Amino acid sequence: MSLPFPSKIVCVGRNYAKHAAELGNDVPAEPLIFLKPPSSIIRGGEAIVLPGWAGNISFEGEIGVVIGTKARKVSAASAWDYVAGLVPVNDVTARDLQSSDGQWSRAKGFDTFCPVGSMTPLGDVDLEALRVTTVVNGEVRQDGPAGDMVFTIPVLIEHISRFMTLEPGDLISTGTPEGVGMLAEGDEVTITVAGVGSVSNPVVLEAS
C-alpha cells in the first residue's frame, strides 16, 4: 500500500539497549526524540547518496509506524487505534557529524537519508512477531525483535503525542537494534520488517 507523504518524521534514538551500548551511550530515562525532514525520504530502488565530505555514513534498520488518525494526548492503551500501518525504514546517519554537532538534524537530514518501504495495514500485521533485519550485500548485519525495544510502540505514541500533534501520514521511526555499520559506494542495503515488507536501496557517492 502506498504511503501518504508525512508532514514530519519523528524518530527515536537509543531505543534498543544493546545499540545504545555499542555506541557508548546510556539508555535514556524517557524516549529520546529527534526529527528527520520529509525531504530525506526516498523509496525502494532509489539511491542513498553519500556526501563525500560528511565522513562515515551508517545504516540503521527500523520499524516505521504510519499514523492514520490525528493524535494528541493519546494513551498507550489506545495508541494502536491511531495507527494506519507499518513500514520498513532506514534511518541513514552521518555518524561523524552526529558526534561533532551534538544535535542530530544535519547528520540525519540529508536528502536520501530516509528510505521507506510500502505500508502494510496494521490489521494485516502480526504484532507479536515484529522484528527488523538489515542485510548489506547479502550479509545480515542487524536482526532484532520489537520486544527488545526499551519503550514500546504504544508508549512512544503516548509520549510523542503529549507535546506534538501527530497528523495522518506522519511517520514514527522507532529505533534501531545493535549491529549498525558503515555504508560504502556500491553497497546494496535492505531493511526488512517481518510480516510488513522490505525496502532495498543501492548506495552511490555524490557527484562532485
Residue type, 114: C
Contact criterion met (CB below 8 Å) for 198 and 117: yes
CATH architecture type of domain 9-205: Alpha-Beta Complex (3.90)
Return d(Cα 96, Cα 112) in angstroms, integer. Answer: 17
pTM above 0.85, yes or no: yes
Per residue in 134-185, pLDDT tens?
Answer: 999 999 999 999 999 999 999 999 999 999 999 999 999 999 999 999 999 9
Judge whether 27 and 17 are in contact, CB under 8 Å: yes
The domains of the chain are located at 9-205
Separation CA 120–CA 173 (nearest Å): 15
- Checking if the pLDDT of 204 tops 80, the result is yes
DSSP state of 167: P
The H or E element spanning position 35 is strand 32-36
Sequence letter at residue 31: P
Q: Do residues 149 and 175 lie in contact, with contact meaning Cβ atoms separated by under 8 Å? A: yes
Kindly state the cell numbers that stand for 89: 525504514
Identify the CA nearest to 176 among candidates 140, 150, 137, 195: 150
Q: Would the pLDDT of 89 be above 80?
A: yes
Quick: pLDDT tens for 15-41.
998 776 777 777 789 999 999 999 999
